[in-house]
Structure 1
Amino acid sequence: MNALDYFNARLQATISPMDYIKAKKMNPEQYFLIDVRNGPAHVRSITIKDSHVIPEQELDNRLDEIPKDKKIILYCWDVWCNTAAKVAKSLLEQGYDVKELTGGIAAWQEMNFPVSTATPDNPLSNHCGC
């Protein structure tokens, strides 16, 4: 693979936080954002605002929650985390239109973009699976 092919593939497979916000603003019904991070709920208590929490460990049992008619955007912890990439591969193999959010929640928070916080009355996920 040459450099041009690499960058074309990278751009096809990922979306930056800024590009996601712009795209979502222009066409809000087209996107479905999923937090695929694993781990105890208390370490995942902050999520990107309006994201759907479906940890990778629960994916196979919750596929019915993921629409096939939308662009699926996945995120995990940071650039060092490959959970979103693993989930993207799985969903692509099943016919979903998928991109990974570059930098995960760490990049999102670094840019001070909107987040949601879990509370006892409003848990982000009842299915930790840990």
Structure 2
Amino acid sequence: MNKIEFLELLLSLYIDHNQVIEAEENGDSNYILVDIRNAPKHVKKDKIKGSIEIPVKDMANQLASLDKTKTYVVYDWTAGTTLGKQATLLLLKNGFEAYELSCAIEGWKGMNLPIETL
């Protein structure tokens, strides 16, 4: 695999916030945002509005409760952590459509997109 193919593959695992927001605004969103941060609520303090919380440490035990017709978009504090990649890999290995949110929650908040207090 050359560098270009590698980068194309890597980027295919991410989804941009604009794509998620546009689908929601059009009323045809199949995306479920998932906060996979392992921190307790008092540490996290907030989350992306409408997202569900499944810490990555608990995700394997929660797979049966997820809908395979949905597309899961996982996010962590920043896109540079390995937790988002672990969650995406787990979902993909178990037959789910999944992406990591390219901007993570810090980028989402930095763009003043909707969040909610925990």
Note whether the superposition's TM-score is higher than 0.5. yes
Amino acid at match of 1:74: V
Question: Does 1:15 find its partner at 2:15?
Answer: yes
Partner SS, residue 62 of structure 1:
helix
2:83 corresponding residue in structure 1: 83
| 1:35 to partner: Cα distance | 0.5
Amino acid at match of 2:42: H
| 1:81 to partner: Cα distance | 1.5
Amino acid at match of 1:41: K
Runs of 4+ in 1 over 2 A off after TM superposition: 1-4, 23-29
Write out per-residue CA displacement over residues 96-125 of structure 1, whole angstroms, 9 at most, x where no aligned residue.
00110012100100000000101xxxxxxx
Percent identity, please. Answer: 31
Amino acid at match of 1:106: E
| 1:60 to partner: Cα distance | 2.1
Query: Is the alpha carbon distance of 1:26 and 1:106 closer, same or farther for their aligned partners in structure 2, counting shifts above 3 Å?
Result: same
Write out per-residue CA displacement over residues 72-95 of structure 1, whole angstroms, 9 at most, x where no aligned residue.
111011032211110110111111
Instruction: Tell me the distance in 2 between the aligned counterparts of 1:80 and 1:4.
Output: 20
Partner SS, residue 116 of structure 1:
strand
Query: Is the alpha carbon distance of 1:65 and 1:25 closer, same or farther for their aligned partners in structure 2, counting shifts above 3 Å?
Result: farther
8 Å contact from structure 2 (residues 60, 90) kept in 1: no
Instruction: Tell me the distance in 1 between the aligned counterparts of 2:99 and 2:27.
Output: 16
Amino acid at match of 1:31: Y
User: How many pairs align?
Assistant: 118
Query: Is the alpha carbon distance of 1:112 and 1:31 closer, same or farther for their aligned partners in structure 2, counting shifts above 3 Å?
Result: same
Q: CA RMSD in A?
A: 1.5
Write out per-residue CA displacement over residues 44-86 of structure 1, whole angstroms, 9 at most, x where no aligned residue.
2200000001111111222233210011111011032211110
TM-score normalised according to structure 2 size: 0.90
Gap runs ≥5 in structure 1: 119-130
Instruction: Tell me the distance in 2 between the aligned counterparts of 1:111 and 1:2.
Output: 34
1:24 corresponding residue in structure 2: 24
8 Å contact from structure 1 (residues 77, 103) kept in 2: no
Gap runs ≥5 in structure 2: none
8 Å contact from structure 2 (residues 79, 101) kept in 1: no
